[in-house]
Amino acid sequence: MKDMATPKLSAKELETLLGPEFPGMFDPDGGYSIEKVWFGGSRIRKHYNPRSLRPGGTISGGTLMKLADFAPYVAILASIGWVPLAVTTNLSISFLKKPAQRDLIAEARMIKFGKRLAVAQVSIRSDGEDQLAAHATATYSIPSSEVK
Amino acid sequence: MKDMATPKLSAKELETLLGPEFPGMFDPDGGYSIEKVWFGGSRIRKHYNPRSLRPGGTISGGTLMKLADFAPYVAILASIGWVPLAVTTNLSISFLKKPAQRDLIAEARMIKFGKRLAVAQVSIRSDGEDQLAAHATATYSIPSSEVK
Amino acid sequence: MKDMATPKLSAKELETLLGPEFPGMFDPDGGYSIEKVWFGGSRIRKHYNPRSLRPGGTISGGTLMKLADFAPYVAILASIGWVPLAVTTNLSISFLKKPAQRDLIAEARMIKFGKRLAVAQVSIRSDGEDQLAAHATATYSIPSSEVK
Amino acid sequence: MKDMATPKLSAKELETLLGPEFPGMFDPDGGYSIEKVWFGGSRIRKHYNPRSLRPGGTISGGTLMKLADFAPYVAILASIGWVPLAVTTNLSISFLKKPAQRDLIAEARMIKFGKRLAVAQVSIRSDGEDQLAAHATATYSIPSSEVK
């Protein structure tokens, strides 16, 4: 149980490993920050960027969906180690409230860690708000050969 | 029934109206083209851009999700007219096959046009392929005041 | 805020109102019990019934899906009052762990209460277990004429 | 390609194999009929039963969800052979139109047949109608040991 609570990779290590794979991903200007990881979860900040706006002055659904997909990916890598080829098989997102023109905070929580499939729940809020902007459930396929 | 078959806005008109709302969206270098619209549907091309790649040399899930969200949005605008504040309430996507490093083609087909909700099915393929790269279902809320 | 915390209908009142609409639903032999309701949530017990089994000795997906649909319906009625014509527009469920041959407990938590749409998250466990058997997100359309 | 077009099990064989696993499933009074199977698909009839009604005089969501889950299960068994322990990992359904008090017809079409995962699209209509009553996407995990 102790082991389960310890992530295999820290937020810092993940940013170092992921940076070259996803150029620009951690730019302070509109990119992401991995704020925290733990066994089975992650908290990711998406820095506000006016280019993400859509008609109505709200942040685009595409921006929310990318964040909803990235947060569990980070949680999986933090929890089981470097398996960059883990792929999303399914993502279902509900858009609940138009996000303000501010940073977004996503919290991913793994609700299943199987040998082949991992499933996460993701809550997305505007920074400083209680109400959810979006809620997603995402499933990932873990390449068996990659898990050590 | 004749009326129903005629879209209210053509592909050309839509690109002209949407361009200023979504800067860069129709750039030939990595942006979209509205290839065709009809009452209840649309076909959208996403031009290949190496910046969309993720580990494994495949196009990112985020790119596919944005396309899965955009194609029905275009189909709705084409079918019922200029309601830019229509918003996605739910999107569920299955990733079926890693897309090649090529353009993507999305076909949206509306399966419900209610007064308040519209629902679409979206098929995404790599250009020239038969097999689906992804399949999505998306629901949109139509602002009642906007519909003429 | 005080008002928001008070449900409009109690568990007892709901069983009395729903019983005639759904004959057999609250049979102690395989039916449901509304264990608890609060503003924005509900806890429902599904009594074990061997007829719900499927190959592999596990409870059928259909049983879990009905429960995932019923728990938010009860939470909505408890929270906003008697709107029996509220209808599910979308339900997405992940099956996480084969449930044991025991009662199931579903907890619904509303994550959006809009004028037209309500969205809930549902967690389903075998009675006495920590791990989730299933997790669902469901969206309901609230008939505007019905809300008092 | 010829082989791929031939189902491994016929509709008749499937009813014979599934009958003992799911008692009552093929009762003419409210049960299912497997109308047709082919490689990668199935057509299932759900016989109308007044016990499936819910407030508003429409067929319950639970009935539609069970049918949406069963049709791809049949399509998988027909296509790859007797793998009764194939399990649904995810199902997402949109309810589009209240079904009439009539039989329901579900058509499942597999959109992915991977080694470990199979994904299907399901269209459900009231018998004799064009418009969809519901549309679902479902993912199944295929137990590797079972596939011959």
Which position has the higher pLDDT, B44 or D23?
B44
Over residues A101-128, the mean pLDDT reads 96
Indicate whether D30 pLDDT > 60.
yes
**Mean of all residue pLDDT scores within chain D:** 91
Q: Check if the interface score ipTM surpasses 0.85.
A: yes
Over residues D121-137, the mean pLDDT reads 97
Report the C-alpha gap between B74 and B110 in whole angstroms.
11
Helices (H), chain A: 2-5, 11-18, 61-80
Q: pTM to 2 decimals?
A: 0.94
Is D62 in Cβ contact with C91 (below 8 Å)?
Answer: no
Which of D55, D44, D51, D50 is closest to D136 using CA atoms?
D44
- The confidence score (pLDDT) of residue B3 equals 47
Q: Which residue has the tokens 């990932």?
A: A140
Which position has the higher pLDDT, C148 or B11?
B11
Over residues B118-129, the mean pLDDT reads 98
Q: What is the share, in percent, of chain A residues with pLDDT greater than 70?
A: 94
**Mean of all residue pLDDT scores within chain B:** 91
Q: DSSP per residue over D4-16, as a string?
A: HHS-SS-HHHHHH
**Mean of all residue pLDDT scores within chain A:** 91
Is B21 in Cβ contact with A54 (below 8 Å)?
Answer: yes
Report the C-alpha gap between C138 and C72 in whole angstroms.
8
Which of A96, A22, A18 is closest to A59 using CA atoms?
A96
- The confidence score (pLDDT) of residue D145 equals 60
Indicate whether D59 pLDDT > 70.
yes
CATH class of the domain defined by D2-141: alpha beta
Report the C-alpha gap between C109 and C112 in whole angstroms.
9
Q: How far apart are the first and last CA of chain D?
A: 18
Confidence of residue C4 (pLDDT cuts 50, 70, 90): low
B37: enclosing H helix or E strand: strand B32-38
Q: Which residues of D touch B (CB under 8 A)?
A: 92, 94, 96-97, 111-112, 119, 121, 132, 135, 137, 139
- The confidence score (pLDDT) of residue D23 equals 80
Report the C-alpha gap between B81 and B24 in whole angstroms.
22
Chain A residues touching D88 at Cβ < 8 A: none
Which of C45, C69, C78 is closest to C120 using CA atoms?
C69
Q: Which two tokens stand for residue B75?
A: 């189909």
Chain B residues touching A65 at Cβ < 8 A: 62, 65-66, 69, 91
Q: Which two tokens stand for residue D126?
A: 């009231």
Report the C-alpha gap between B55 and B59 in whole angstroms.
9
The pLDDT tens digits for D84-119 are: 889 999 999 999 999 999 999 999 999 999 989 999
Q: Which residues contact A80 (CB under 8 A, 6 or more apart)?
A: A8, A113, A142, A147
Indicate whether B5 pLDDT > 80.
no
Task: Tell me how far CA of residue C4 lies from CA of A129, C22, C105, D12, D77, in angstroms.
Answer: 19, 28, 25, 56, 49
Indicate whether D3 pLDDT > 70.
no
Indicate whether B45 pLDDT > 80.
yes
- The confidence score (pLDDT) of residue B148 equals 43
Lowest mean pLDDT among A56-70, A93-107, B50-64, C90-104: B50-64
Chain C residues touching B89 at Cβ < 8 A: 117, 139
Q: What is the share, in percent, of chain B residues with pLDDT greater than 70?
A: 94
Report the C-alpha gap between D106 and D11 in whole angstroms.
14
Neighbours of chain A (3+ CB pairs under 8 A): B, C, D
Neighbours of chain C (3+ CB pairs under 8 A): A, B, D
For chain D, the domains span 2-141
Q: How far apart are the first and last CA of chain A?
A: 19
Confidence of residue A84 (pLDDT cuts 50, 70, 90): confident
- The confidence score (pLDDT) of residue A1 equals 37
Indicate whether D44 pLDDT > 80.
yes
Q: Which residue has the tokens 């739910």?
A: B90
Over residues B82-103, the mean pLDDT reads 95
**Quick check: A101 and A53 in contact, CB under 8 A?**
yes
Chain C residues touching D87 at Cβ < 8 A: 56, 61, 95, 98
**Quick check: C61 and D88 in contact, CB under 8 A?**
yes
Indicate whether B147 pLDDT > 80.
no
The SS3 assignment for B131 reads: coil
Task: Give the distance, in angstroms, between the CA of residue A105 and the centroid of all CA atoms in the same chain.
Answer: 9
Residue A1: Cβ-neighbour burial (10 angstroms; 0-12, 13-18, 19+) = exposed
Q: How many CB pairs under 8 A join A and B?
A: 76
Indicate whether C57 pLDDT > 80.
yes
Over residues C37-49, the mean pLDDT reads 96
Neighbours of chain B (3+ CB pairs under 8 A): A, C, D
